[in-house]
Amino acid sequence: MNTTSCTKVSFDFTGKFLPPVYILVFIVGLVANGWGLKSLLQNWKKLKIINVFVLNLGFADILYLLTLPFLVVYYIMNNEWIFGDVFCKITRFCFNLNLYGSIGFLTCISVYRYLAIVHPIKVMGRLTLTHSVVISITVWFLVSVQSLPDMFYTKTYGNKSGKCYDTTHKRYVEDYLKYSLGWTFTAFCIPFLILLVCYGHVIVVLCRGKAIDKVLKQRCLKLLFILILLFSVCYFPYHLFKNLNLWSRIMSKHKICHQWYNGVYITHQISRGLVCLNSALNPLVYLHGNEEICAQLRRLLHHMFNRPLETTSRSVPITQIINA
Q: What's the whole-number average pLDDT of the chain?
A: 83
HEC sequence for 172-208: HHHHHHHHHHHHHHHHHHHHHHHHHHHHHHHHHHHHH
Question: Could you give the CA distance from residue 274 to residue 12 in angstroms, rounded to a whole number?
Answer: 18
From residue 22, give the alpha-carbon distance in Å to each of 27, 63, 133, 184.
Answer: 9, 14, 31, 23
The percentage of residues in the chain with a pLDDT greater than 70, rounded to a whole number, is: 81
HSE-CB of 238 using CA atoms within 13 angstroms? 25
Got the DSSP string for 107-137? HHHHHHHHHHHHSHHHHTTT--HHHHHHHHH
Task: Assess whether pLDDT exceeds 60 at residue 4.
Answer: no
The pTM assigned to this predicted structure is 0.85
Q: Which has the minimum average pLDDT: 80-84, 179-183, 218-222, 277-281?
A: 218-222
d(Cα 293, Cα 40) in Å, to the nearest integer?
8
pLDDT, greater one: 78 or 91: 91
| Cα–Cα dist 272/233, whole Å | 11
The DSSP 8-state label assigned to residue 160 in this structure reads T
Amino acid 250: pLDDT: 94
Does the structure show a pLDDT above 90 at 121? no
Question: What is the mean pLDDT of the segment spanning 2-30?
Answer: 83
Per-state percent for the chain, helix, strand, coil, to nearest 5: 80, 0, 20
Query: Quick one: 100 exposed, middle or buried, by C-beta within 10 A (0-12, 13-18, 19+)?
Result: buried
Instruction: Identify the pLDDT of residue 51.
Output: 84
- Split at pLDDT 50, 70, 90, the class of 46 is low
pLDDT of residue 303: 61
Residue 127 phi/psi, 5-degree rounding, is -95, 115
Q: Which pLDDT score is estimated for 271?
A: 96
Confidence of residue 48 (pLDDT cuts 50, 70, 90): confident
| Alpha-carbon span 14 to 268, nearest angstrom | 10
Select from 25, 221, 226, 219 the least CA-distant residue to 106: 226
Across 253-261, average pLDDT:
85
Rg (CA), the chain: 23
Across 142-168, b (16+ Cβ under 10 Å) vs e yields: ebeebbeebeebbbbbeeeebbbbbbb
**Topology (CATH) of 12-305:** Rhopdopsin 7-helix transmembrane proteins (1.20.1070)
Which residue would you say has higher pLDDT here, 277 or 205? 277
Confidence class for position 317, pLDDT limits 50, 70, 90? very low
pLDDT recorded at residue 218: 75
Using the predicted structure, report yes or no on whether residue 319 has a pLDDT greater than 70. Answer: no
- How distant, in Å, are the alpha carbons of 114, 129, 169 from that of 134? 19, 9, 37
Please report which confidence band the pLDDT of residue 200 belongs to, taking 50, 70 and 90 as the band edges: confident
Angle between helices 49-65 and 85-118 (to 10 degrees): 160
Which pLDDT tens digit goes with each residue over 129-161? 888 999 999 999 999 999 999 999 999 876 555
Residue 235 CB-density burial (10 A; 0-12 exposed, 13-18 middle, 19+ buried): buried
The answer to whether 256 touches 194, Cβ cutoff 8 Å, is no
Share of the chain above pLDDT 90, in %: 49
